[in-house]
Each structure stands twice: as structure tokens, then as C-alpha cells.
Structure 1
């Protein structure tokens, strides 16, 4: 059961489980994407390639260290355009993505391997039960495969996928809820934020799933809205919530850190300084594991979402309202 402890912090003038990598020193400070791209998620690969899910364009942008943008339109089946909204690092290079009922991998050379619910339309292995549904979140799991979830017949299904075997079910839960984010936890299990659980006394919580399919939920206080999630350097789970960043120990102890003048932070990541970094409105925030918080306004930013840190101490920030990517370095503290 959760043990909540109040802990306020003050501001002064964050996916996805991002791993800091080398930055692109010659890249411009601002990269403009095509109009109405709506950058939903980003990844920075170890070779310095920046990948961006352009949800409204049904495409993924590949940006090299010089800032050159290459567009990769997603393969089309029947029905609606696949709109990518979440990315995950592939253990063998490239990236994985979820886009409506499409689940796929994009290699560094631009090759797609993908599945959807109309199996003849996909080009990956796996048939019958091995369809992706409409996955909401992805993460690299403890077995070096990509874990994801979707719903079917009023139940929540968790599965794994790789390019050789295709989708394979891990477990099916006799309940229904929305998953916003997943991450590999410090204990080797996969943790996720869950919302709107059907017919539950408390509908929001943090879930945990092991490789053998064992599930457990830690209910959150009423009024919670957990979003992005990451494993912190202190072996705790950190996630965005309404007007705050929250920390959850694996034993269920919860601490809340309010954000000054913020309704809902968007993304959270671990920086190279072992602090938690997050985006909220037009600002970048830093929260140490001791609870000290600092906020910086980002010039010309309007609605910051996804962020990824670089080893050089700067951050790539996606502005969903202006379809731009900002490379921002916080001033010395």
C-alpha cells in the first residue's frame, strides 16, 4: 500500500528511460520541422542521430549530427493513416514505434519491419494471436525485447516483440485501464503509469509486471493523473503528475514535488548530472533526488513536450505548438 509523504519544493529563476548520448555539436540550435508535424516523441541514438515521431504527418524524422532531416513516411495499410506517438530504443540499433494499430521497427538505413491488426498488411513474422492491437506505450524490457500493451475485449494485454519472432503475449489481465508510459525498473520488472481503470475504487496507479506475467498495482491518491515515467538514479520510479513530479520507491513510498505555476508537466528524463529533468509549458525543469527544483524559460518555446539529454549538458526539446526542436543549454547554476 502506498505511504504518501508531503514534501514541497520551490522553483527558482525530464520518456520514455532516455540514455544520455553524444550530442551533435554542429547541429543548429533550432530545427524546424514541416508545418503541423506535431512532434510527439524523440530519441537520441548513441551515434548522435535524433529520431522524432511526427504524429500528424504519419512519419518519423531522422536527423543527423549536422542537423540534416530525412523523412520516413510510415508504411500504409488499409484504414486510417498510422500516426506515430511513442518511440523506443532498439537493442540492435534503430528504433521501435507505435502508431495507431501499427507496431514497427525502423532501421538506421530506413527499412521498416511492421505489424498491424490486419495481418496481410504487415511485413513482419507472426500470425494469428500475434497482432499488436493499439499499443499505447513501449519500452525495452529485461529480455532485450520491446514490451508493449493494448486492450482487447475489455481486458488489458501485455506483449513483447522482436524482429525474428514477432509479437508474443506475456499476460492478459481481467481489467481495463489506459497506459501512458512504460520503463524498465531498477528491479528488472517493467513499470508503467495507469489511468482510468474500469470499475476500480481508485482508478489511477503505478503498475508492475514481471517476465513471468505477475502484475501488481500501487494505487495513487485521488486526483492523480500519472503521465511520463522514468527510472531514477536512486533506484526509484519518477513520474509526471498534475502540477508535480512524483517519486515512488519500489516499496510503495510516495513523495510529491509541486512545480511552481504549472498544471501538467509533459516529459521526464535522467540527465548526465543524475538529476531528473522535465518539461512544462515553455520551461525546462531540473529536480535533484534531494528535492531541489530549478526552472528555466526556453526562448521562443510555447508548448514543450518530449525531451532528450545529451552528454554535453544540453537538451533537445520538442515544441508541439510551433513544430520546432530546440537545443537548449541551461545557464550555469
Structure 2
């Protein structure tokens, strides 16, 4: 194992559950507190604030910065989309399909937010005014999970139960790309500037890469039970990911070189991660903390 600087910042108890994290338009780190119905913020000087969403059971899950410089997030248990300004003003939007189980969300190239509906088996779109449209998927019970905007101007998403990636254009045309590994169960996905896509294969204990020509490459991790979950790219193009099953964070360089970092707290349950304004990698730990990794 590598020995970088790994520091944990306890912010809440495990009853709050930091889950996803992103860099906000104000230069602060914003994260969801999935178990307590709150959104957290950590500014560059270390000040932590929390924002109540009005429903402790709403299950805020994944969040992203929208084109309006607000943070948009999925509420998995409340089956709706949320928006919070950097000043803390919260708005909720009901998606097109009741009981849809929204999970992943990303800012699209068309000025709207695109999200997955895991239960409804659809991809949703919401514009900054709150107007929602939805698109059915061609494979039943595929469990669309994470979603990202590709360099090709389309939205790419993981189909966890179908062992596939999906692609949808901004006009709603869907294409499915099956993965060769049965039981790969992809979850996290991130798009690189060169047109490639990096994604976690939680069921296979591997990281996958699909380049812009459609060539697939798999990077098996040393422990097949590592359960890689979320994935993010840094400014150097390296692929970072959380290993939920082994309490580690991994990094894959473009040439496939793997480095793994142990987290200090046992059972920390690492989920989302992002490169912060300080250049370090910040990880949401469901145990109630954020971790900062400086390679």
C-alpha cells in the first residue's frame, strides 16, 4: 500500500451518512447526508455548515452543480429532485414518474440536469425552471445508476442490473453497450476529456474503461471483493475510485498503474469522491466524516 497523507475530518455521526460529494460553484465542498435529510458544506477554511431539507427521510443521494450555479440533487427515498442555492435556499421538484427512485444526476450539455430513475427504469431531464421529461429504456429492470456527460455531448450512464452502459442523446435516442463480464454490475461513471469513460464494476471487483472507439478494457483489482463504487477523474486524467468492500481508495493512471490507499477508520464506508480546490481528493465516508488524500 502507498503511504500518502490521508486525513479524516469527522463532521457528523454515522446517523447522518455522508454519501456523495462535489465541488460547488462557490469553491466549497458540498455533500449529501443520506440518512438525515440534509446537505452539508465544507468551505476552504474548514468551516462546516449543514442545511435541512425539511424531511429527514428524503434520502438525498447524488448531487452536482447546475448551470444556474445552484446544487441539484436526487432524493432517492422521497422520489424527487432537489435544488439548493449556495445561500441555502431549498426547492423540491417531483419527477415525472411517481416512486421512480432517482439516483444519479449530472449537468447536461443542453442547460438541463439529467438523472437516472432506478425503479422506473427511465432517464429523466429537468430544466432550471423545474420542467421534467422522461425517457424509457429499452431493457427492462436495468437499474440505471450513475450518469455523466460525455465528451461527445451525450449522456452516459451505468445499467447496474443489465451489466451494460447506456448512452442517451439530448433528443432522447438511447443506445445500450453491453459489457463482456457477466455480473459486472457497473455503478459509478466518469467521462474523460479524450472521450473515454471510466466506470466501476462493483460485482466484478474491477474498473472498466470504454474509449471513444468503443474499445473496452478491464482493470481487475487485487481483491475481487473490493466492491468499487464511485469514480472520479483528477486534472491529470488519473481515475480515482472508492473501494467500499475493503475500506480503501484507489487510483489508476492512464497506463493502468494502480495505487491503493487505506483509510484510517475501519469500516468507514467510502462512497463519493471528488478533487477539491486544493488539488487533494476528498471522499465522503458514510461513517460520518470526509477524508482528504494527498498523493
Question: TM-score, normalising length from structure 2?
Answer: 0.87
Could you tell me which residue of structure 1 aligns to residue 42 of structure 2? 63
Q: 1:114 aligns with which of 89, 92, 100?
A: 92
Pairing 1:160-199 to 2, within 5 Å after superposition: 160-169=125-134, 171-176=135-140, 177-196=142-161
In the other structure, the counterpart of 2:107 is 140
| More RCO (CA 8 Å, sep 6+) | 1
Judged with a 3 Å threshold, the aligned counterparts in structure 2 of structure 1 residues 33 and 307 are, in CA distance, closer, same or farther, namely same
For 1:1-333, list aligned pairs within 5 A. Answer: 30-76=9-55, 81-99=57-75, 100=77, 101-116=79-94, 133-150=100-117, 156-169=121-134, 171-176=135-140, 177-196=142-161, 203-220=162-179, 221-241=181-201, 242-263=204-225, 264-280=227-243, 281-300=246-265, 302=267, 303-320=269-286, 322-330=287-295
Cα gap change, 1:258 to 1:116, in 2 (>3 Å): same
Q: Deviations over 1:75-107 (max 9, x none)?
A: 34xxx8211111121112121111121211100
CA distance in 2, matches of 1:70, 1:306: 19
Gaps of 5+ in 2: none
In the other structure, the counterpart of 1:200 is none
- Report which of the two has the higher share of strand: 2
Paired residues in the alignment total 282
Structure 2 counterpart of 1:20: none
- Whose Rg is larger? 1
TM-score when normalising by structure 1: 0.78
Q: How large is the Cα RMSD of the aligned pairs?
A: 2.3
The Cα offsets for residues 173-223 of structure 1, whole Å up to 9 and x where unpaired, read as 354320120000111000000022xxxxxx320000001111110111212
Decide whether the 8 Å contact of 1:150 with 1:157 is kept in 2: yes
The separation in 1 between residues aligned to 2:122 and 2:284, in whole angstroms, is 30
Gaps of 5+ in 1: 1-10, 14-27, 118-128, 197-202
User: Is residue 37–residue 54 contact of structure 1 (8 Å, CA) maintained in 2?
Assistant: yes
Is the 2:23–2:277 Cα contact (8 Å) retained in structure 1? no
Match of 1:6? none
